[in-house]
Structure 1
């Protein structure tokens, strides 16, 4: 299995707009699987010796330790396809038999990948980002939440200071100041948020709100006049409110800064894969949660 064969496979995945490429260990080697927008597609199986050569080449290009096959590793590399630079994010880990799995995430240029299935919703989102406050996205893994954050931030980018904090950085945007979480170096989400606010950004992208401290910093930034875009794990728009309250956020502070919540999924729209949003404004959510509280107390 040659390096040229590997390059051809990666290029084919890009041409088919694959989201991920999996190398899953099996007793005889590895099975190679592509995640497309609507399904998983098994591409081929490779022998143990061929698979080792392939994984080692990918890890080497991504700046990862070839000799380490058990502990989790992450790396980055890029691929040029039809004059477009595609960034690849790699992650590996060994199973209980010390057989290594590898996943390649394809990060496409926003201009070629972002589509919304409802122009009215997109217009509404563009109106929401013209005001300071907190705009949150929830949805399944791989539904394009980070792409949405970057697309929306680019709409207000002119003459603005945009700071992005992620773990890890997925989309490279030279016009933004991008900071990457590094727990080993003491650079947690909360620590980077504290630092970033001293830079006086107009717009702040937070890759994910995971804990109370991060949520508090995000809300403080929104209350002090910044536009804050972030994601959070929840199953619905109203579920986002419940999650933040469960973390310990004050309802009064949350409702004072929340401009909207979007639950995002991917749908097939004609020949394209598009973002679909269930969107609720902060006012709508406040009314809904108040009504639920009243009804629940009767």
Structure 2
């Protein structure tokens, strides 16, 4: 199904009886003489509109039709503000400010992680990323993009005349006395600009570890991890698998007055109370290598390395964990066993690795079946059938036997089979059996 690239005129749509449109599964777009252009689906019922000449413009799914006909009061309000922002020269600033404020408040209410404002031929599309998946929410005239771009750049204190070079900025927004931070990236495209706004919500990432969806066995392992005084703990998974949330949640549980915690991140997006966070900046010679080289002089108890990228960062992590520090780090690999292979590829010192490596957490995030509609699609889940995500994982504890096998780099897979090591797929299957997610969703994220 191609993405929708037609403007949705909600002032026109609101002239019809919304319940009738929902029952008929038709979205009217515009009137041209005696004809009305409309969106339709395979289940559309045209009998209610037999006195009108309908031109079926584009076919969508039933869920898409119902979604675009939902939340009509807000959609109409946003469309009116968008139109006024384009046409009313005298009060343009007030209109675009109100438009953007309403858009941000809606995004926060819907738990959006990223807002994508994208110029296309003739229209600007606004997509929200919710629970890791992008979905088109609003479509307006393309001329809105320039007004919106200028306003966002003004908020970020960027040069509003620059629309042919990529820019990065940030701004803050208060809602009900709660502060939200946003990171902005702009990129010139053939039709205008692509603007992505990342919603940085500390409350969503600084969760108690028990809120993340780990099973009881995994939670017991994580409790044991939090009791460690030294060693190396690795967390692995692809981008968007929740590694940062898990790491921050573990750190939150051990962040006490008697612990000195230092993180090395690229970039620092979420601020942690009482934690010394260092942001990598190659232009200022604050590289991973330079920071890690000096970090032990700060007398830390716990070190969090955003990502092990090369042999140098791995060697420092191993040395730090060997000398009485607890080190957490992420590394790109698809499973716990593959993580070991990745460490060997980086020419790690096998002796140090066997001594210091304590746990490997490999995880993914699966979409949860919406408990309101049971995957039929409703307003709560934005007609997607899924609502929120939970973590599936495998946690490999490095015991004495496994440590000796790591030293020899031999027999790891056979040993894991002999102890019936529970894999991430098996954890996912339990969630399927419990009605939390679907088989397709488990295989989608595991094979990502």
Q: Shorter-chain TM-score: what band?
A: 0.7 to 0.9
Matches of 2:246 and 2:313, distance apart in 1: 20
Give the TM-score taking structure 1 as reference length: 0.88
What is the aligned partner in structure 1 of residue 410 from structure 2? 290
Q: Whose strand proportion is higher, 1 or 2?
A: 1
Instruction: Summarize deviations over 1:120-147 as a string: whole Å, max 9, x none.
Output: 3123112113211111111222222112
- Contact conserved, 1:145 with 1:231, CA < 8 A, in 2? yes
Deviation of 1:225 (Å): 1.3
Structure 2: tracts of 5 or more residues without a match: 1-84, 86-95, 372-386, 416-448
Residue 210 (structure 1) aligned with residue 303 (structure 2): no
101 and 116 in structure 1: CA distance in 2 versus 1, 3 angstrom threshold? same
Offset of 1:184 from its aligned partner?
0.7
Match of 1:18 among 103, 108, 112: 112
Query: What is the Cα deviation at residue 168 of structure 1?
Result: 0.7
Q: Whole-Å Cα distance in 2 between the matches of residues 282 and 53 of structure 1?
A: 56
1:124 corresponds, among 221, 240, 256, to 221
Structure with bigger RCO (C-alpha 8 Å, 6+ apart):
1
Q: Is the 8 A contact 1:264 1:277 kept in 2?
A: yes
Cα distance change on mapping 1:262 and 1:60 into 2, 3 Å:
farther
- C-alpha change, 1:10 and 1:249, in structure 2 (3 Å) is same
Match of 1:242 among 338, 341, 347: 341
RMSD: 2.6
Do the aligned partners of 1:31 and 1:46 also contact (CA within 8 Å) in 2?
A: yes
TM-score, normalised with respect to structure 2: 0.60
Deviation at 1:254, TM superposition (A): 1.8
Shift in CA distance, 152/7, structure 1 to aligned 2, threshold 3 Å: same
Distance of aligned partners of 1:9 and 1:129 in 2 relative to their CA distance in 1, 3 Å threshold = same
Please name the residue that 2:140 is paired with: 46
Matches within 5 A, 1:1-298: 1=85, 2-37=96-131, 39-95=133-189, 97=190, 99-108=192-201, 109=203, 110-111=205-206, 115-117=211-213, 118-131=215-228, 132-158=230-256, 159-268=258-367, 272-283=388-399, 286=403, 287=405, 290-292=410-412
Flag structure 1 segments of 5+ consecutive residues without an equivalent: none
User: How many matched pairs?
Assistant: 294
Does the residue aligned with 1:8 lie in a helix, a strand or coil?
helix
Maintained 8 Å contact 2:265/2:280: yes
Cα displacement (A) at 1:111: 4.5
1:274/1:194 CA distance change after superposition, 3 Å:
same
Q: Deviations over 1:209-259 (max 9, x none)?
A: 112212222222111111111111111111112222212212222222111
